[in-house]
Amino acid sequence: MTSQLPRSDAGLATALRISVSRLARRLRAERLAGGLPELSDTQLAALAALEKHGMMTPGELAEHEKVQPPSITRVIAALEERGLVMRAPHETDRRQVMLTATESGKALVHQSRKLRDAWLARQLRELSQEERAKLRAAAPVLEKLSQS
């Protein structure tokens, strides 16, 4: 595969946007092909955050996921309706609730990761050692971009 390198920051931004969007779409398709329940990317990300970090308030989850509180409220309601998230009273603040992933929610996150990681590992085997080295070097940069 021969592709021309972007010459400007704007060209790089366009190339990255297209590539990252395609890759995300491919990973989403792999998750769905694996027979897992259909969740939006935002729902799965919120569930994965709860699985990783344990208990969080809705505000903490919204901040972590970089979404507005009304959006996270809808996400939580959808996940709770499916039995993937549960609420518990906050230990010290009666106005707050704590959210946790249920065992079903945790299992869904693990299975989703397993399917997507397996697909991506197969794709990486198709790349040269040099290409994989470039991806290893780029991974921290992509992570930094994703957190900004």
Q: What is the CATH number of the domain that holds 109?
A: 1.10.10.10
Residue type, 68: Q
In the chain, the number of structural domains is 1
In a domain, 22, yes or no: no
Residue 108 lies in a domain: yes
Asked if residue 100 belongs to a domain, the reply is: yes
- pLDDT for 2 equals 46
Residue 141 lies in a domain: yes
Out of 37-41, 50-54, 115-119, pick the least confident: 37-41
Mean pLDDT along residues 111-120: 93
- Domain encompassing residue 129: 38-147
Looking at the domain assignment, is residue 117 inside a domain? yes
pTM (two decimals): 0.81
**Could you give the percent of the chain with pLDDT greater than 70?**
97
Confidence (pLDDT) at 1: 47
pLDDT given at position 84: 97
